[in-house]
Amino acid sequence: MAAAMQDMQSNTNETSTLRKRRAGSPIPKQDGSLKETDNDEKKVRLKCEEKFHVIQTGTFWLTRVVLLRCTAFIYFVAFLVAYDQNKQLIGEKGLLPCKQYLKSVKRYVGGKIDMKALSYTPTVLWFLDWSDMDANLDCIALLGLGLSAFVLLTGCANMIIMSLLWILYHSLVSVGQIWCPKILFQTPTWDLVIYHFHVLCFSGWESQLLETGFLGIFLCPLWSLRTVPRNTPPSRIVIWAFRWLIFRIMLGAGLIKLRGDRCWRDLTCMDYHYETQPVPNPMAYYMHRSPWWFHSFETLFNHVIELIVPFFIFMGRRMCAVNGLLQILFQVVLIVSGNLSFLNWLTIVPSIACFDDASLGFLFRSGQGGVKHQVEKVQSEGKPATTWGMQIRRVADISVGLLIVCLSMPVVLNLVSSQQIMNTSFNPLRIVNTYGAFGSITKERTEVVIQGTLSADPSDPGALWEEYEFKCKPGDLRRRPCLISPYHYRLDWLMWFAAFQTYEQNEWVIHLAGRLLANDTLTLSLMAHNPFEGREPPRWVRGEHFRYKFSAPGGNHAAEGKWWIRRRIGPYFPPVNSSGLRKYFEARDWPHPDSE
């Protein structure tokens, strides 16, 4: 009986061995060694992994790389705008010199540069030599351009680089005044500056970039410049902070519309938007003539994207990705149909946090040593052993999360308030802000056209008044609307606001006129056309107020090459000459062109 059992066991073992061989296993050597078999299996497995490149869900290594590169791109554009235009706007001879602004803040806080001054105006310019403010502004912008270009091209960053970018741009925004929308009131004589955090701004992209950049600091390792630093995985708290940012941006924009202009509720706002937006582009010319039902659909779709879709963030991975995709597509449509600076490009950035590595893997090339391969390797190795550095980083991430929660409280109260205020910060560092856009829509477009004459008598009916052309804003009826996004012409943008206010509310317009009277080359670099180039300066400059409308495609005006038609409303500011502005400039501590 025992012998029979042994025979059966022997047959079973032989059968099992034969099955393994049939399955493709190599015949082992006589010494019983299977080392070659193991090595071959490993090679086959590695080849399969390299072929298919399976990225796991739930991690954000690739998300971090995309977020950092996109943030760096916006920083690069913002610093480029600053380098090109800061000297003309806030430099020594700028329309609103930042040196005078800093002096007024210093007087207001007691004549000392201390924490009170820094809390009012957080800028490194406090600690630099003010004898050459233009050089200071250029150095800040150039350093920002260099650092942002490095992050953009390499996809590598650490907390030090991202902190420097944030500090540098904060330093420019803090002294930008109306050119970089400020949250403050100031008197015309600069003798008093009243700082208040609950004031409505013209636009919110400066604060939005600062909040985005602040979160970008905590995406990175402290020192390492590796694209995939294994011991510093992306913080889920920071990823959720980005998601919270896009949620507030979109919901705030949607709510301010419902509580604002009636045309958002009766679905007619898009009948006017394309023509009356600050700086239309060529596509806006054609979209303005869309049928009424299409404009109604656009307005309704806008409400869905801003009021309903943001809640997808809290409905799981797939719905969160749907939100991210819809928000990005929505911003692309806005980019195509208008010149809203880098605002829409910037709004795409936090939407990227709605995607994990598995969703963004297609953006990266496959291959040994690439970013995608490094992420696969990190995922396969599992969580690294916890170190003291990782513990400290976890505490820092939790602290940032708690800070955002605390600073979000007044923001949430503002969102649910019937007296909602858009584009406002409740803290001097602009870490968490409120957002919104186009709560009201202007139904007619008005423009200020600046003209100059060589005539000695501005009231002479025979005086020849010649027009200045701005870089992008409507002027010449035959000039095609410009296409500049994500770049931004700050002067053109503010001229749009000045057109539906008065020159008394925009005293910098008179400063601009004074500079044009002197044929000032620095100021004229902001203009597209100077009618007095190569000639003597104008004797008088005036502002005329016009109502502009798009011409009808295929109509008589369009056949004449006109993109616009216009009708004069009246004078915007009266004719002024250089001598007559001397006291006006002295009262505001502006350098008079004749004395330079």
State the average pLDDT over residues 559-585.
95
CA–CA dist 438, 259 (Å, integer)? 11
User: For 458-485, how does the pLDDT look when each residue is reduced to its tens digit (9 = 90+)?
Assistant: 999 999 999 999 999 999 999 999 999 9
Which DSSP letter does residue 591 get?
P
Q: CA 84: distance to chain centroid?
A: 17
Judged against a pLDDT cut of 50, whether residue 17 lies above it is answered with: no
pLDDT grade, residue 590 (50/70/90)? Answer: confident
Q: What is the mean pLDDT of the chain?
A: 87
pLDDT grade, residue 32 (50/70/90)? Answer: very low
This prediction has a pTM of 0.87
Residue where the block lists tokens 């694209």: 227
Question: How much is the pLDDT for 25?
Answer: 44
Question: How much is the pLDDT for 47?
Answer: 53
State the average pLDDT over residues 236-240.
96
Q: Which residues pair with 570 in a beta bridge?
A: 545
Residue 473: count of CB within 10 angstroms of its CB: 25
Task: Tokens for 93, please give them.
Answer: 């001879």
State the average pLDDT over residues 17-24.
43
Judged against a pLDDT cut of 80, whether residue 457 lies above it is answered with: yes
Long-range contacts of 375-381 (CB under 8 A, 24+ apart): 375/55, 375/59, 375/61, 375/62, 375/228, 376/49, 376/53, 376/54, 376/55, 378/61, 378/228, 378/230, 379/55, 379/56, 379/59, 381/230
Yes or no: say if 113 and 106 are a contact pair by the CB < 8 Å rule: yes
pLDDT grade, residue 383 (50/70/90)? Answer: confident
- Which amino acid makes up residue 494? L
Residue 111: count of CB within 10 angstroms of its CB: 10
Yes or no: say if 121 and 427 are a contact pair by the CB < 8 Å rule: no
Question: How much is the pLDDT for 192?
Answer: 32
Yes or no: say if 440 and 260 are a contact pair by the CB < 8 Å rule: yes
User: For 66-84, how does the pLDDT look when each residue is reduced to its tens digit (9 = 90+)?
Assistant: 999 999 999 999 999 999 9
Which DSSP letter does residue 53 get?
-
- Residue 231: which residues within 8 A CB-CB, separation 6 or more? 221, 384, 387, 389, 390
CA–CA dist 250, 435 (Å, integer)? 8
Question: How much is the pLDDT for 158?
Answer: 95
Yes or no: say if 566 and 442 are a contact pair by the CB < 8 Å rule: no
- Residue 217: which residues within 8 A CB-CB, separation 6 or more? 159, 162, 163, 166
- Written in H, E and C, the secondary structure of 81-121 is HHHHHHHHHHCCCCCCCHHHHHHHHHHHCCCCCCHHHHHHC
Higher pLDDT, 370 or 216: 216
Question: How much is the pLDDT for 199?
Answer: 30
Judged against a pLDDT cut of 90, whether residue 496 lies above it is answered with: yes
